[in-house]
Amino acid sequence: MRTDSAALAARREVNGTRVIAAALGVCVGVSGLDHGLFEVLQGNKTTPGLIVQAIGPAQRMWIHGTEEAFTLVPNFLVTGILAMAVGLLTIAWSIRFVDRPNGSRILLLLGGLLFLVGGGIGMLVFLLFGWAVARRIHRPLTWQSVLPAGVGSVLARAWPGLVATGLALYAFALEVAIVGVVPGVSDPDKALLICWSALLAMLAAFLVALVGASVQGDAGTAARHPVGASVANSR
């Protein structure tokens, strides 16, 4: 019993790579909720094809606020319901189960299904990034030998703040994508550029956070395992 408890405690310890994978998975799921809500608001009507605008003319708040999506379901109402349902499942899986055996594969499966039922196109970038990160949970990348002295320790302390920054940038980009409001900016083309720039900055923040979390993981693994021991990974 003590062995099982210790294993569970080790599994659930704060793991930066797991946190980053979960955060990216949540972003994927939120994309499904966002697109699905506006698809539902368009009502029980036929979609014009495989590529749709999740935000219809009646709900659109600015010229670039269309939110393109791909869907195999030829009905806006059904597409939206499915997108929100799969989005919620993706969020739940990312938060609670992404570090389980086959966790990264199921995240990829849920994200792929979300794409097929109108959950958005751009979220595929977050999905693939999150899947790749989830595969490294409990098996961090090794950065200690390539980073300048002192940089690794700084990043190891900074990764939680970088994750928070990335999530804030995602929330800001989502607001701009839907509403088109950027303080001090009235040109919609500039607002769109700022939106895409925020998403790129978000990905950069998560990438640097991953380096820091991996450095922290290197230190933790070295403390728990002798030199030459391997950390099992079932993904």
For 153-187, write each residue's pLDDT tens digit: 888 889 999 999 999 999 999 999 999 999 999 99
* Beta-bridge partner residues of 51: 70
Please state the pTM of the whole predicted model.
Answer: 0.85
**What angle is formed at CA 107 by the lines to CA 105 and CA 108, rounded to 5 degrees?**
65
pLDDT for residue 1: 44
Tell me what the mean pLDDT of segment 120-129 comes to.
96
Read off the pLDDT of residues 32-64 as tens digits, 9 standing for 90 and up: 999 999 999 999 999 999 999 999 999 999 999
pLDDT for residue 82: 98
pLDDT band at 222 (very low <50, low <70, confident <90, very high): very low
Q: Which amino acid is at 218?
A: D
- pLDDT more than 90, % of the chain: 73
113: tokens are 């299904």
Task: Single out the residue of 29, 83, 28 nearest to residue 55, CA to CA.
Answer: 83
pLDDT for residue 151: 82
Q: Quick one: how far is CA 130 from the chain centroid?
A: 6
Q: Is the pLDDT of residue 125 over 80?
A: yes
pLDDT for residue 135: 93
Which range has the worst mean pLDDT, 1-15, 94-108, 125-139? 1-15
pLDDT for residue 228: 39
pLDDT for residue 231: 39
pLDDT for residue 14: 63
**CB neighbour list of residue 221: distance below 8 Å, 6 or more residues apart:** 140, 231
Round the average pLDDT of the chain to a whole number and report it. Answer: 87
Read off the pLDDT of residues 131-160 as tens digits, 9 standing for 90 and up: 999 998 877 667 666 777 678 788 888 999
Tell me what the mean pLDDT of segment 26-31 comes to.
98
Task: Single out the residue of 72, 70, 110 nearest to residue 90, CA to CA.
Answer: 110
pLDDT for residue 230: 39
pLDDT band at 224 (very low <50, low <70, confident <90, very high): very low
pLDDT band at 220 (very low <50, low <70, confident <90, very high): low
E-assigned strand segments in the chain: 51-53, 68-70
Q: For residue 55, report the phi and psi dihedrals to the nearest 5 degrees.
A: -95, 110
Tell me what the mean pLDDT of segment 200-212 comes to.
95
